[in-house]
Amino acid sequence: MAVEMFFGHRIPKVRQSDIGWERVELNDIDTTRPVLLCFGGNNTIKDRYANFMAKTAERLLNLTPEDKYIDIYSISYKHNEDEDIANMSEEEIKRINESLFLPLLIKDGKRIPTEQAQKNIRNINLFSFSYGSKVVYNLIQNLSTTMGKLGYSDNETSQILSQIFHIAYAPKNVSKLPTTFALKTFADNFFGRFYEAEYRKLTHKTKDETCNLKCGELVINGNTLNLYAEKINDRKFFTEKNDNPFEDEYRNMDDEILPDHDIRSFLLEPDWSQANYRAEIFARCGAYALGFAVHNSKQNFKQKTFEPLPSPSFMKEVIEDMELRGDNENYRERKNEQADDLSRFY
């Protein structure tokens, strides 16, 4: 039996929804105002898992379901109940693009001027995890092809799609067209060897050279800013933290999720912290980048002039001001010295 994919959003918990979740028709998602679209991993096939992905995004932005600063939607994939595995057909990819992306690029069936298209598409911000990055990749590929058929040149298509911001944790595929902040760890049992080979190629390091990244190193590749790390977590971090308010959402999920390939590695507590140094810094880097992008979306929404999303260097400059290398002991000593405040981005 095929189960259809759907989007939803978080709402205050009420009697009708004890998990604080509501499904939303695709055509009811308004991308003429700033949105954050979340694409979870392969097992995001139920309301509670899509809800968890949206909650992770809220934590990164320090928001709540009651906060109307930006609309956050999360997808639950179509799947086969016999296999419990996600599946996104070309028809569904096309349907998402036609409903959410193309209305920002065409009028009366024809393409609109490039700068206006850039300003419009700046409303869209994407957040993906693992398999979700493949969905985003396919969305962008389909959209790029469609834009060519509308008469946009390759250069215009690249300029326009670079105004979509994509934050990707443990990505399987990364399109080079959006401006992407990708967070990758060599200890990821799914993609670790691929990430390390990619890192060595981009930094011209030989196989004989030790990476020794500790928490992370930033490398720009086109429109993508990659944050690489050797390791940020282990399972002990999750099993010992029994008071984690997010655990209920994942209690029924496969407990064999491997170290550093787990969306919980990217969580921040309500006070915007984590118990693990490397995991917290990794998540904070993502939070800063996403905060800047969302702020830029709101700027463009409020004013008539176009304020482009800066190149990946804007994230690099901010994140390099943070301490990316270190250990838990040193971090605990200085953790309370100065609290981070995202409000300056809003």
How far apart CA 300 and CA 17 sit, in angstroms, is 34
Query: In the chain, how many H helices and how many E strands?
Result: 11, 14
Per residue in 131-145, pLDDT (tens digit) is 999 999 999 999 999
CA distances from 130 to 40, 53, 161 (A): 7, 12, 21
More confident of the two residues 275 and 252: 275
pLDDT value of residue 258: 57
Of 68-77, 133-142, 177-186, 253-262, where does mean pLDDT reach its minimum?
253-262
DSSP secondary structure, 132-172, as one string: HHHHHHHHHHHHHHHHHHHT--HHHHHHHHTTSEEEEES-S
Of 182-191, 232-241, 292-301, where does mean pLDDT reach its minimum?
232-241
Candidates 191, 274, 268; CA nearest to 229 is 191
Candidates 45, 43, 46, 73; CA nearest to 58 is 73
pLDDT value of residue 254: 46
Amino acid at position 183, single letter:
L
pLDDT value of residue 204: 94
CB atoms within 10 A of CB 142: 17
Q: How confident is the model at residue 334 (pLDDT cuts 50, 70, 90)?
A: low
pLDDT value of residue 42: 87
Q: With pLDDT > 70 as the criterion, what percentage of the chain qualifies?
A: 81
Q: Which domain holds residue 14?
A: 2-345
Candidates 314, 315, 331, 312; CA nearest to 323 is 331
Q: How confident is the model at residue 244 (pLDDT cuts 50, 70, 90)?
A: very low
What residues pair up with 218 in beta bridges, in sequence order?
A: 227
pTM: 0.88
More confident of the two residues 327 and 315: 315
Q: What is the DSSP letter of 252?
A: T
Q: How confident is the model at residue 36 (pLDDT cuts 50, 70, 90)?
A: very high
How far apart CA 228 and CA 292 sit, in angstroms, is 20
Q: How far apart are the first and last CA of the chain?
A: 45
What residues pair up with 21 in beta bridges, in sequence order?
A: 10
Q: How confident is the model at residue 4 (pLDDT cuts 50, 70, 90)?
A: confident
**For strand 124-129 and strand 165-169, is the pairing parallel, antiparallel, or unpaired?**
parallel
Quote the number of domains for the chain: 1
**How does the average pLDDT of the chain come out, rounded?**
83
Q: How confident is the model at residue 243 (pLDDT cuts 50, 70, 90)?
A: very low
77 pLDDT higher than 70: yes
Q: What angle do CA 104, 105, 109 make, to 5 degrees?
A: 110
pLDDT value of residue 11: 85
